[in-house]
């Protein structure tokens, strides 16, 4: 039973991560947020 529980937990964690990525890409990005993100990324260079 222990092995099955672990496998199920891992599968649920994977699915949750996939859902998060999909919902992130589905959300329309705020232009101001994108500009802020660009500024942060370019700051590192």
Q: What confidence tens digit (pLDDT) does each residue in 15-45 have?
A: 998 888 877 777 766 777 777 778 888 876 5
Of the pLDDT bands very low, low, confident and very high (cuts 50, 70, 90), residue 12 is very high
Sketch the domain layout of the chain as residue ranges. 2-44
pTM: 0.44
Give the DSSP per-residue string, 4-27: HHHHHHHHHHHHHHHHHHHHHHHS
Please, what is the end-to-end C-alpha distance for the chain in angstroms?
51
Give CA–CA dist 21/13, Å, rounded: 13
> Looking at residue 45, what is its pLDDT?
58
């Amino acid at each position: 039973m222990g092995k099955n529980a672990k496998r199920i937990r891992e599968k649920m964690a994977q699915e949750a991560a996939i859902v998060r990525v999909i919902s992130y890409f589905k959300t329309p990005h705020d232009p101001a947020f994108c500009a802020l993100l660009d500024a942060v990324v370019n700051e590192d260079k």
